[in-house]
A and B are shown apart, each in its own frame.
Chain A
Amino acid sequence: DTGVSQNPRHKITKRGQNVTFRCDPISEHNRLYWYRQTLGQGPEFLTYFQNEAQLEKSRLLSDRFSAERPKGSFSTLEIQRTEQGDSAMYLCASSLLNRDDYGYTFGSGTRLTVV
């Protein structure tokens, strides 16, 4: 386990369908983050977990979005009733408590296309 793993890498879905993405962080990292990146923009914060507790959610995370991190290990991000505006790269990152100066380690992301 040398990095943050995200699956699937790409997802194409029809508007109105539900999608779920998975993130496996670096095993000893207890912090996990979800960011969204649209074309030509920097990543935008969505939510943050410390172990299994979801400690912060952005206003970007509407009621259609839900994230979980059962047992403080992997995390899932679900989008219900997808809209075309949800098309983006969804990035997961992890870090170690008290080692913030090392920054995040990002995964390669899941690219979502809503048609």
Chain B
Amino acid sequence: QQQVKQSPQSLIVQKGGIPIINCAYENTAFDYFPWYQQFPGKGPALLIAIRPDVSEKKEGRFTISFNKSAKQFSLHIMDSQPGDSATYFCAARRAGTYKYIFGTGTRLKVLA
């Protein structure tokens, strides 16, 4: 069963735009929420992550916003570049475990 719902499925933005990818979860026992970036033919690479006691985290051009009461979190990419074109996955980790539940992915295309 899908416990992490990700949207949109695909996204096209102009260079310099701010794509936003959203995820919603159902299980309150999740304690860690990473975002992964995947290029074709490669494995996912950790981009940025947040814990539920923090409402926002920034690393470079990437920002996670976290709304614990709504059980939602989102990824914002500032000043997006064509090199950001990839598939992005949100994930959630069950507390006390080491496995992640991944969303279905968002295919982002940034036009030059």
**Chains A and B form a bound pair:** yes
List chain A positions with a Cβ less than 8 A from chain B: 4, 31, 33, 40-45, 48, 56, 91, 93, 95, 100-109
A41-B105, A100-B32 in contact; A93/B43 too (CB < 8 A)? yes
List chain B positions with a Cβ less than 8 A from chain A: 4, 6, 32, 34, 36, 41-46, 49, 89, 91, 93, 97-105
Known: A56-B98, A100-B32, A108-B41. 12 other contacts (CB 8 A): A31-B98, A33-B99, A42-B4, A42-B103, A43-B44, A43-B100, A44-B102, A91-B44, A95-B98, A104-B46, A104-B100, A107-B43
> Which DSSP category, helix, strand, loop or mixed, fits chain B's interface?
strand
Q: How far is the CA of A105 from the CA of B97 in the complex (A)?
A: 17
Q: Which of B36, B91, B98 meets A100, CB within 8 Å?
A: B98
> Which DSSP category, helix, strand, loop or mixed, fits chain A's interface?
mixed
A4-B43, A48-B99, A106-B44 in contact; A101/B105 too (CB < 8 A)? no
Q: Which of A4, A33, A40, A107 meets B98, CB within 8 Å?
A: A33
* A to B CB contacts below 8 Å, 14 in the list: A4-B43, A42-B4, A42-B6, A42-B91, A43-B44, A56-B97, A93-B43, A95-B98, A100-B32, A103-B49, A104-B46, A106-B36, A106-B45, A107-B43
